[in-house]
Chains A and B, each alone.
Chain A
Amino acid sequence: MANFETPEIKEYPTIPLIKEGVMAHSKPFISKDAFQQPLGFPGELLDNWQDVAIEKMGEMLGKYRGLQVFLDSCVKCGACTDKCHYFLGTSDPKNMPVARQDLLRKVYRRYFTFAGKYFPKLVGAVDMTKEVLDDWYSYFHQCSQCRRCSV
């Protein structure tokens, strides 16, 4: 059997302490260019990929009220942090629902909000970089959309 470090299941869950980066390696296999092209996806990152990504985010913000409201309204109370079973099992903090949203929110704040544009360090806003994109690719696929976190 493979050597896994699984937490013991008890009647009430013990909330683990966070261990950063534990699941950063886990992501879906990236397909070959020859398979991506017929589906209409570029095989490699485009030169202006940051602009494309931010423009797409803007488009989605205009089409989905939930996205717009929730990116603004999260007060970081932490009530959802111990709910995601992907966090409870791995202790990776980016699997906490709020931290997973924050991967998106910190880019949203940087390009779409007053505070993020002029006081980025104050509100935790970051530029759209390759590291951020890798985090998105890894951690967004670690959510199964089960909605256990939607308190």
Chain B
Amino acid sequence: MSLSAAYTALFYVAIVIFVVGLGLRISKYAKTPAPLKIPTTPAPVTQCGVVLRMFREVVFFQSLFKGNKWTWIFGWIFHASLLLAFFRHLRYAMSPDNILWPLVSLEVVQSFGKYAGFAMLVGLIGLFGRRIFVDRVRYISSPSDYLMLILIFAIAASGLGMSFVAHTDIVSLKAFVLGLIYFNPQPLPSDPLVLIHLGLVALLMIIFPVSKLLHAPGVFFSPTRNQIDNPREKRHLSPWAAKLETNERS
């Protein structure tokens, strides 16, 4: 089997595992009842407040800032630069006819995305260093915690290598990606950096639904974040608890 065909198959498999796995997990979180009113105080007392709280949590990592400044600095830099790199990568999946093209092709999106790669490395090295040198964090870390950081570091490093060290055939690469999207498989440029980068990205997609990266959807389902603090104004009762109550009375 040719390399392009292998990578095409790998990506289809990875995307299916990612989407189906994530979908199953999210539906499990959604279906599991949250019977206890446990928002972490100080907590908002309106739905609007909850939305704002969730916004501050996801965008600024508010609770992590309050918890530990060093982890916040490295963690936030990593996640923010990941977002910028993601925006930059959209150009590989869109044709110029796409409505978002003028936004994605902006010089600022492209430049910031490139330099964000370096910021990502800084954040990851900081987090990795913390995991090695701080005894408390070393105690709670399993091999998968270290490997996860190394995986993402390798993805970022190989990506930066393609931007600044050894340019790859960008036109063929974009053809390959668009080929995946439109089910019209195209050949893949076969230089090592591309193969490493794409192979590791496929691995990341495959392990996403079975790893701690589930904190991404998980944070939205945390009862400590998404509940309104109104237990006295509105009775909070889950279906299984309500059933116990009617059983008691009857």
Enumerate chain A interface residues (CB-CB to B < 8 A). Answer: 15, 17-18, 61-66, 68-70, 72-83, 93, 96, 98-99, 102, 113-115, 121-124, 147, 150-151
Contacts and interface: CB of A to CB of B under 8 A. Distances in A.
B135 A74 contact: no
Given A73-B214, A78-B68, A123-B143, 4 more contacts: A61-B32, A72-B212, A93-B136, A115-B207
A40 B3 CA distance: 64
A70 B127 CA distance: 21
A34 B240 CA distance: 33
B218 A65 contact: no
Given A64-B35, A65-B221, A151-B64, A76 B135 contact: no
| Secondary structure dominating the interface of B | helix
Interface residues of B, number: 46
A79 B63 CA distance: 10
B79 to A, nearest CB: 11
B144 interface: yes
B34 A66 contact: yes
B130 interface: yes
A121 B36 contact: no
Interface string B124-149: 00010010001111011111110100
Nearest to A124: B142
B33 interface: yes
B223 interface: yes
B14 to A, nearest CB: 15
A126 B215 CA distance: 22
B40 A147 contact: yes
B33 A65 contact: yes
Contacts, number: 120
B135 A18 contact: yes
A113 B210 contact: yes
B215 A73 contact: yes
Most buried by B among A65, A70, A115, A150: A65
Contacts of B102: none
Nearest to A101: B140
A122 B146 CA distance: 10
B211 interface: yes
B222 A69 contact: yes
A81 B140 contact: yes
A83 B136 CA distance: 12
Contact of B224 (A15, A66, A102): A66
Nearest to B34: A65
A61 B67 CA distance: 27
B52 to A, nearest CB: 18
B136 A78 contact: yes
B67 A83 contact: yes
Contacts of A151: 40, 63-64, 66-67
Nearest to A116: B210
A56 to B, nearest CB: 15
A53 B215 CA distance: 26
B219 interface: yes
B130 A78 contact: yes
Given A65-B223, A66-B224, A73 B212 contact: yes
A108 to B, nearest CB: 13
Contact of B140 (A61, A68, A102): A102
B35 A81 contact: no
A121 B38 CA distance: 33
13 contacts: A64-B32, A65-B29, A66-B224, A69-B221, A72-B215, A76-B142, A77-B137, A96-B139, A115-B207, A122-B143, A124-B144, A151-B40, A151-B67
Contacts of B249: none
